[in-house]
Structure 1
Amino acid sequence: MAFYSKRDLYFHLFENHKIEDLISYPYFSDHQRETFDLVLDAAEKIAQNSMYPLLTEMDRNEPQLENGKIKVHPGMRKIIRQFGEDGWINATFSYEEGGQQLPNTVYQASGFIFQAANYSASVYPFLTTGAANLIRIFGSKELKEKFTPNMYSGKWQGTMALTEPDAGSSLSDLQTTAYPTSHDGTFKIKGQKIYISCGDHDACENIIHLMLARIVDAPAGTKGISLFVVPKYRVADNQPNDVLTQGIYHKMGYKGAPIAHLMIGSDDGCEGYLVGEANKGLSYMFQMMNEARVGVGMNACAIGTAAYHASLSYANERPQGRKLSQKDPSLPQIPIIEHADVKRMLLFQKSVIEGSLSLLLYCAKLSDLVHVEKGDQKEDFGLLLDLLTPIAKSYPSEMCCLSTSAAVQVLGGAGYTTDFPIEQYYREARIHPIHEGTTGIHGMDLLGRKVLTQNGKALKLLLREIIESIAAAKAIPSLVSKTIMLENYLKRTQEVIDTLLPKAGKDMEAFLSDATLFLEMMGILVIGWQWLKQATIAAQKLQSEDLEKDFYQGKIMCMNYYFEYELVKIGSLSTRLLSEEKVTINMKKEWF
């Protein structure tokens, strides 16, 4: 069974976003189209041969805590080592650091393939990449030499240890404490962490936690948070480092990867190593989190993609009913894909996942350009990426919950059974609106920070990009009506922004009370922009009598669907955002 479309992925990479342009920069100059093809083919082979076969098995046989250690599916040890041996964990790092200087765009596309095949299995190595990256960027030479080689090889697992029982989104309330020692510049760490992905398991020899803690007597709030490397086993003698697995969380989905509750320093024996400067841990961690947020969007998109292809396959094969115009019961039944409402549900899924994938790969390319560009161009690409990050995280996360639900509905009763993988995708999709910050947090980030940055410069850059895409599409007669639609909703969005921004300095509670709705509206607009870009390319290809007419015609029809069914939702959202009624603020808890 296909779990993604290679043709669609290549369309986004090479026709839509033209990632071969990156080869012109010295940092990426050793690569070429053939290199990218080889990388993506290698990713598909691992996904197809090693990961997808374990999809259901890892869900049915979830990790268990036995004698203080979490046991995971035995197949994970081989998969993690394969990622290490093949260079996936540090592929984007420089040659000097043992990496391949692979563009992040290609890396994210490869990750999309892995995640569509088996999301749980894909999490282990990519968590290690994030943790190793923090040590690589901010750690001392000694820390890099001590920890990163075995992380790159897959021998050691990396994690991000942020959340505590009383400090989730509000990290200023973090209680884990670091006490300086009199030797080696190490710290004694004491506290607890919850919801730590891959926080303990038996598929690697050691677990390396990148942990936030407050040095004793440090400033209160977020200004006093530092970042530490805290291994489960001490590197010098491989003895336990007083990091105990207190429990394991059993989840509704994403069951193949363990989520641990850790007790740190219960016997005053946990040693940690400071990363970078004291009291700057949160700023270090947020650099990683911003990258991870685009990754979360990609995870959601990948799961939504797998669900779409499973429901598409079923719809083509399942006979049920006849055309409404056919009254003769002796006529053979037709595949359900012939029914208009089933087409609607499939179009909805296709519009969400292919629109999301376009945005996510665009963000990945922006990150590559930030890495290689200089001066004003570098700043502009960075501002645009920062603005789009909460949208790229939240739109796929929220909408793929709905698209996987539509996939279940396509199958009807069969979709609710374990005979098909879609019920698993439905459960797995739900974590992404929570991972790396809830949707509400990202709404406040977008409206309360990103839109206001440098007097709205990032927003102006985005509007310029959208207007340029509209101008290009207007040159194609068949797209003119849709460009006018997007223009009108762009103006409506601008009206909302112009109305909201003056409130920012007067009443922040009122200003941010519907930030989640603002984020939703912006997501719909941006995905509409991405669909217009795709349709423009498709229309040009059809004019040249390209042989893949079905593929490109499908792009145009899906753009039509998105504009007619999804883009129009900006109307009702904007009406609410322009209203002066403060319903959620005025509601009192006693009235519930």
Structure 2
Amino acid sequence: MAKKYVDINTLKYLLYDVYQLEEVLNQDRCEDHDISSMNLILDSVKDFSDRELYPYLKEMDEQPAHYKDGGVEVHKQVGVMMKQGGEMGFISGPFDYEEGGLQLPMMLYTASSFIQEAANNHLTGYIGLTLGAAELIINFGSQELKDIYVPKMLSGDWGGTMCLTEPQAGSSLSDITTKAIPQSDGSYKISGQKIFISGGDHQYADNIVHLVLARIEGAPAGTKGISLFVVPKKRPDEEGNLVSNDVTTVADFQKMGQRGYCTTHLGFGDAGECQGFLVGEANKGLKYMFLMMNGARIAVGRGGAAIATAAYHASLEYAKERPQGRKLASTGKKDPEEGQTFIINHPDVRRMLLFQKTVSEGSLGLVLLASKYYDLKHTLTDEKEKEKYGLLLELIIPMVKTYPSEMGAQSVSNGLQVLGGYGFCTDFILQQYHRDIRIFSIYEGTTGIQSQDLLGRKLLLENGKALQLLTEEIKQTINSALKYDDLKKYAGKLGDKLQEASKVIQHLIGFAKKGDYERFLSDATPFMEYLSTITLSWIWLEMAVNAKNALVTGKKTYSEEFYESKIHAMKFYFKYELPKTNGLAEVLLNEEVLTIAGEKEVFN
């Protein structure tokens, strides 16, 4: 295990300097908090993660969650996470005071969770899903449901899940068949099966509260007929005692990564005795679930960024300590008499490390930016400003979920390569990070689904107003960069990319205008990569402008080397990553259609 899994200085730099958490703290909802209290929280989270999370990461992979005697057994640290996480506010933190929360800004909660996930990504999901389930009840449930379930969930005594996927339906939620039959007492009898339910069963929660999508008998077909139900594993009886609610753990999926984070197959109502309780109005379940999806997708991006970050620090530590080979002399030959050099001095190793640095730190910046938009959307009082940040959030959310997941996996793969043969061995942690991060591009909607959401829905939101707002934000950063001579070149490159992006987007939208939606969306995934890379170039230019300003004004919180490293990383991203959009633009502008099914089969 590496000595370091996260750089707190970089996290605080992005949180306080680049993305100005104080702007959110100035809003009425957060008036009880200040930078000092935020630092206390982050420092306590880091101490907890050092002590209770990071030391158990490898052990949880080697001792995976597993099905036994009708239930799932998980590592003992899940119990520590549920109990102490509840006590420390890891579950309740973002909620309002009246709901038992701490009214923490999403930015701070994101930073706190990032530390925990970098330390041990197998543990955070148990409390994260409990938070998500509680959030649904708080926002849409009756007061009775809130009173019965929320306090126990926020304390960590009870767990929570979200149950969407079914064996026959997969991501196609319009095809779910789980049934809900109304009963005379206002409850519903639930019957059906759900698969891939993260945190669906374990021995360290007295109860697990499932938020289940189901179809009320006689409801309309498709997504319009889906309702949302609270379906506890155990339901309180009239005396308040917990009794079985006919929720069965059928199996636990064994996975290539995140092996300490259980993923279950659940059966509801096998004995005809499963009770569910309607959340909100009938037939609005999918709407309720997706209103919470922005937070869930920020969480997935955050997890990808966290694993990529931990892998980067493990790779960097190895490269600084591993002697191998010799530096090339000015003659172009190696001197066999010269001692070995550390591999961090080899240019190609430095290239891979810089790739890891730019992907992981850039991803963290993107996730924190989305969290800021989330905060401003929910705390500002000016309706026009609320709309602005709401639109910006909607547009970048698919990228926030996708870029850290997809590029994070590439980043970890590069880290494994830095270690060479040792990277492939279980003695070192890189192979585990490589396996753990692979699921993140599948969580909460695959990359293909996110890409179609970006191109097919978000880009056209409010007749393109969201895209216009994002373009304006990027241009502000370009104008700020133009004030510094050594940043002008990079500002110009990003400006040119904005013009190219406009051409690409207009070309693609042309198919939508003609009603050719299959062609319009057929290259949505290359477009996701294209726009995400441009967006990350903006993230890095923004960091470089902030760093340059600190160096010029002398208002430095960190060392000169720290700020120079951010500028150097930006230059690397503009040299090695941004030019990849040239090839993607060529793909997106190409008139040839090769992936749409036709009369002739091309696979044999």
Compute the TM-score of the two structures, normalised by the length of structure 1: 0.99
Contact 2:164 2:213 in 1 (8 A): yes
Q: 1:494 aligns with which of 490, 494, 502?
A: 502
**In structure 2, do the counterparts of structure 1 residues 327 and 87 end up closer, same or farther at CA, with 3 Å as the change threshold?**
closer
Q: What does residue range 429-440 of structure 1 map to in structure 2 within 5 Å?
A: 429-440=437-448
1:354 aligns with 2:367: no
1:280 aligns with 2:280: no
- Aligned counterpart, 2:548: 539
- Aligned counterpart, 1:264: 268
Contact 2:360 2:404 in 1 (8 A): yes
**How far 1:190 sits from its partner (Å)?**
0.3
Deviates more, 1:370-379 or 1:460-469: 370-379
Q: What does residue range 65-464 of structure 1 map to in structure 2 within 5 Å?
A: 65-183=67-185, 185-236=186-237, 237-325=241-329, 327-373=334-380, 374-464=382-472
Q: 2:537 aligns with which of 516, 528, 541?
A: 528
Task: Report the secondary structure of 1:276's partner residue.
Answer: coil
Deviations 1:267-320 (A, max 9, x none): 111000000000000000001222101110000000000000000000001011
5+ residue gaps, structure 2, are none
Alpha-carbon separation, structure 1, partners of 2:597 and 2:61? 44
Alpha-carbon separation, structure 2, partners of 1:163 and 1:586? 27
Task: Report the secondary structure of 1:591's partner residue.
Answer: coil
1:571 aligns with 2:575: no
State the AA in 1 paired with 2:284.
K
**How far 1:232 sits from its partner (Å)?**
0.5
Deviations 1:412-447 (A, max 9, x none): 011111111111000001001100000000111011
Alpha-carbon separation, structure 1, partners of 2:601 and 2:309? 40
State the AA in 2 paired with 1:362.
L
Q: 1:504 aligns with which of 477, 487, 512?
A: 512
Alpha-carbon separation, structure 2, partners of 1:86 and 1:407? 33
Deviations 1:67-105 (A, max 9, x none): 101010122112210011122211111111111111010
**How far 1:586 sits from its partner (Å)?**
5.4
Alpha-carbon separation, structure 2, partners of 1:536 and 1:49? 36
- Aligned counterpart, 1:562: 573
**How far 1:543 sits from its partner (Å)?**
2.0
Alpha-carbon separation, structure 2, partners of 1:78 and 1:18? 33
Alpha-carbon separation, structure 2, partners of 1:492 and 1:248? 48
Alpha-carbon separation, structure 2, partners of 1:74 and 1:584? 48
Contact 2:122 2:258 in 1 (8 A): yes
Task: Report the secondary structure of 1:234's partner residue.
Answer: strand
Alpha-carbon separation, structure 1, partners of 2:356 and 2:223? 40
**In structure 2, do the counterparts of structure 1 residues 249 and 53 end up closer, same or farther at CA, with 3 Å as the change threshold?**
same
Alpha-carbon separation, structure 2, partners of 1:501 and 1:472? 31
State the AA in 2 paired with 1:304.
A
Alpha-carbon separation, structure 1, partners of 2:404 and 2:26? 31
Deviations 1:517-566 (A, max 9, x none): 11111100100000000011111222235461211111111111100110
State the AA in 1 paired with 2:573.
Y
Contact 2:215 2:227 in 1 (8 A): yes
5+ residue gaps, structure 1, are none
**In structure 2, do the counterparts of structure 1 residues 586 and 186 end up closer, same or farther at CA, with 3 Å as the change threshold?**
closer
Alpha-carbon separation, structure 1, partners of 2:488 and 2:500? 19
**How far 1:167 sits from its partner (Å)?**
1.6
Task: Report the secondary structure of 1:262's partner residue.
Answer: strand
Following TM superposition, the consecutive aligned residue runs of length 4 or more in structure 1 with deviations greater than 6 angstroms are none
Alpha-carbon separation, structure 2, partners of 1:27 and 1:232? 35
Task: Report the secondary structure of 2:215's partner residue.
Answer: strand
**How far 1:328 sits from its partner (Å)?**
2.0
Q: 2:562 aligns with which of 551, 570, 574?
A: 551
State the AA in 2 paired with 1:591.
F
**How far 1:64 sits from its partner (Å)?**
1.5
Task: Report the secondary structure of 1:501's partner residue.
Answer: helix
**How far 1:590 sits from its partner (Å)?**
4.8
State the AA in 2 paired with 1:556.
I
Alpha-carbon separation, structure 1, partners of 2:36 and 2:578? 37
Task: Report the secondary structure of 1:223's partner residue.
Answer: helix
Deviations 1:460-481 (A, max 9, x none): 0000000111000000100011
Alpha-carbon separation, structure 1, partners of 2:110 and 2:26? 20
Alpha-carbon separation, structure 2, partners of 1:78 and 1:507? 53
Alpha-carbon separation, structure 2, partners of 1:586 and 1:155? 51
**How far 1:23 sits from its partner (Å)?**
2.1
Deviations 1:224-257 (A, max 9, x none): 0000000011122312111111111000000111
Identity %: 49
State the AA in 1 paired with 2:233.
K
Deviates more, 1:515-524 or 1:325-334: 325-334
Contact 2:25 2:105 in 1 (8 A): no
1:583 aligns with 2:585: no
**How far 1:159 sits from its partner (Å)?**
0.2
Task: Report the secondary structure of 2:265's partner residue.
Answer: strand
Alpha-carbon separation, structure 2, partners of 1:39 and 1:232? 33
- Aligned counterpart, 1:518: 527
State the AA in 1 paired with 2:168.
D
- Aligned counterpart, 1:25: 27
State the AA in 2 paired with 1:170.
S
Task: Report the secondary structure of 1:430's partner residue.
Answer: helix
Alpha-carbon separation, structure 2, partners of 1:2 and 1:333? 25
Alpha-carbon separation, structure 2, partners of 1:75 and 1:495? 52
Task: Report the secondary structure of 1:208's partner residue.
Answer: strand
Alignment RMSD = 1.0
Deviates more, 1:77-86 or 1:135-144: 77-86
**How far 1:500 sits from its partner (Å)?**
1.3
